[in-house]
Amino acid sequence: MRRALVFFDWDGTLVDLWVRSYGVYRNIVKRHKGKALPKTTYIRLKQRKISTEALLAKTRTETTTSMFTNEWFKVIESPRYLRLNRLAPGAHPLLRRLKKRYTLGVVTLRNDRKLFFRELGRHGLEKAFDYVLVVSGRGKSEKWKEKTKLLTKTKLPLRGAFMVGDSETDIRTGKALGMKTVAVAGGSRAKHLLLQENPDAYITHIADLERVLKRPK
């Protein structure tokens, strides 16, 4: 009997993205003689999908939106900052348990595939996934389309599989491919924005995933 597929987003779903994200923001602002917003304020605004321009308007800094964006993309995936990523509590045992019953995959928006595999290894997850898919979303306004194209190319039986993620990108990707979607709180989007996408399930923590996973009929 074919095992059900479960695909995960990475940043914000299986790892806490906020230490890295806030660290980059704070250091760019500091270099431009500004004063960064408190971390809790920064996270709240980012989860509400604030634009970079609006974020900088709330931050006392001399940098422009264009300068900030260019500096951001130069360092956000550098080894220095990727080392700040930490697995979500309970992610390791969850993946070990799921591996026994499901075929697991991870699909992520990254520009450097080698660095992503290195990150998986650093977290001891180099063998956790049956499929590892990496695609660049930089400069793309509809990132979910990039994930959709990549998953489509695999020719895997995705209809009825699961897509687990923390943003509208993941939910839209799953829905476009006929997958069941599970939205995870605490990542890149606030609860009300996730629920606007009508996911099949919403969980407050990745460790709660097992209770919503059911084999397709």
Write down the pLDDT at residue 140.
Answer: 67
Write down the pLDDT at residue 209.
Answer: 96
Q: How far apart are CA 81 and CA 131, in angstroms?
A: 25
pTM assigned to the model: 0.93
DSSP-based three-state secondary structure for 142: coil
Q: How far apart are CA 149 and CA 140, in angstroms?
A: 13
DSSP-based three-state secondary structure for 91: helix
* CA proximity to 171, closest of 158, 184, 160: 184
Tokens 């476009």 locate to 176
What CA dihedral angle connects 71, 78, 105 and 50, to 10 degrees? -30
Three state DSSP letters for 41-108: HHHHHHHCCCCHHHHHHCCECCCCHHHHHHHHHHHCCCHHHHCCCEECCCHHHHHHHHHCCCEEEEEE
Q: What does the block give as tokens for 133?
A: 């898919």
Q: How far apart are CA 132 and CA 134, in angstroms?
A: 7
pLDDT, averaged in runs of 10, over the chain (217 residues): 89 96 96 93 97 92 91 95 95 95 96 94 96 84 88 94 97 97 96 97 94 69
Q: How far apart are CA 183 and CA 172, in angstroms?
A: 11
Distances (CA, A) of 133 to 46, 106, 150, 152, 154: 25, 6, 7, 11, 9
Q: How many residues does the chain have?
A: 217
Cβ distance 213 to 184 under 8 Å? no
Q: Identify the burial level of 174 via C-beta atoms within 10 angstroms of its C-beta, where 0-12 means exposed, 13-18 middle and 19 or more buried.
A: buried
